[in-house]
Structure 1
């Protein structure tokens, strides 16, 4: 049992249920090839969805978890494609690290810009985040909109953008799998993805909560 206090459930009963759930996942998952820190993330994703296919669908670039934990400990901003991710993240857990989540998809100027250039709100929201200096060195969290991920990839390629980490898990049928395949080709930007059509904000939140837990463990041991 972990001794984390900031990134746990707030009640003993809640903590016990979560730990029991993790134990069930461990007992039923069968074999996997993930490193220990990677498994903390995949296990929480399975716990959040009751879908064991994420054992295998989830992939990590080299040192993605280490870099993500370091970014959290440094208080890096999190930029999400949709409000659901920001709402799903535990505010007390984020506050412990001085992290603020951001999303701009429903801002009036974002909507107007998308209409003006016949783009998507997700694209223009990422443009706004970049204009505010939130993407360079930040954690990009995409669970819904492939176009948001594709725009960030364009910025990396054409504008030398350097996010600390991209959690790229858009769900759906149009460009979702393809955007993640493209992300997986990056060599100098750490990433965590789910292959294929499966993904979603719930998975991104689970992955980020796992990173927060790993960061607290490192904080306590350091």
Structure 2
């Protein structure tokens, strides 16, 4: 049996298949921007789920805001080790961007015990001590999304952008609706779908659109986007 073994060829072919499925099964679908196309296609690439064509929302110029934070060497704060392991730290290091998952930090664990709240909520509160622009990214902690919104409303926390894509059944849909209705620049999925791998897909899609990413094994270029009418 013959099969593709080169990583870059696998990825390139996958995105071609994604576009062909969109052309065939969703012929009237149009992406709003090249960046949104990159993000949505990478979410589909990660999950094999074309529902992400319709359930992902972008508010208050969030993509430009995230790019601004990254260019200014801000901090990405994720809510799981899965997300932390999946984001391309090599290129983030090249850009001087900081990143962390605070839920296992001793101070956060202690704060959660003292206040009888989840560690994800305690991590949000602890993050107020981190200086500079911040991007919060939630893939598995709807309570943390709600808590962040409370702290922002109370003037106790600042968030430059929020990726709110928790997956599950308890407070998941409600917290994402509240996030989308807030004044915070946000990327969120409507409904129950999401997860840590979607956080990874979103962050990597954005940084791959910003520059070429050179890994140890191969050169990964930004996600191919569809050409507009009249473009060559």
TM class by shorter-chain length?
0.7 to 0.9
| Selected match of 1:16 from 6, 9, 22 | 9
- Give TM-score, length-normalised by structure 2: 0.82
CA distance in 2, matches of 1:199, 1:63: 21
CA positional deviation for 1:138:
0.9
2:40 aligned with 1:25: no
CA distance in 1, matches of 2:103, 2:191: 24
2:203 aligned with 1:208: yes
Contact 2:128 2:156 in 1 (8 A): no
CA distance in 2, matches of 1:118, 1:195: 29
CA distance in 1, matches of 2:152, 2:30: 30
- SS of corresponding position for 1:198: coil
Structure 2 stretches of 5 or more lacking a match? 213-232
- SS of corresponding position for 1:159: coil
CA distance in 1, matches of 2:196, 2:56: 14
- Give TM-score, length-normalised by structure 1: 0.86
CA positional deviation for 1:109:
2.6
Q: How many pairs does the alignment contain?
A: 203
What is the CA deviation profile of residues 162-192 of structure 1, one whole-angstrom value per residue up to 9, with x for unaligned ones?
Answer: 32211100111111111100000123x2100
Structure 1 stretches of 5 or more lacking a match? 1-11, 218-222
Runs of 4+ in 1 over 6 A off after TM superposition: none
Contact 1:73 1:215 in 2 (8 A): no
Please give the residue correspondences for 1:9-88 in structure 2 after superposition, counting only pairs within 5 Å.
13-29=6-22, 30=26, 31-35=28-32, 36-88=34-86
CA distance in 2, matches of 1:22, 1:186: 33
Give 1 or 2 for the bigger CA radius of gyration: 2
What is the CA deviation profile of residues 163-222 of structure 1, one whole-angstrom value per residue up to 9, with x for unaligned ones?
Answer: 2211100111111111100000123x21000111111000010000011012227xxxxx
CA positional deviation for 1:160:
5.8
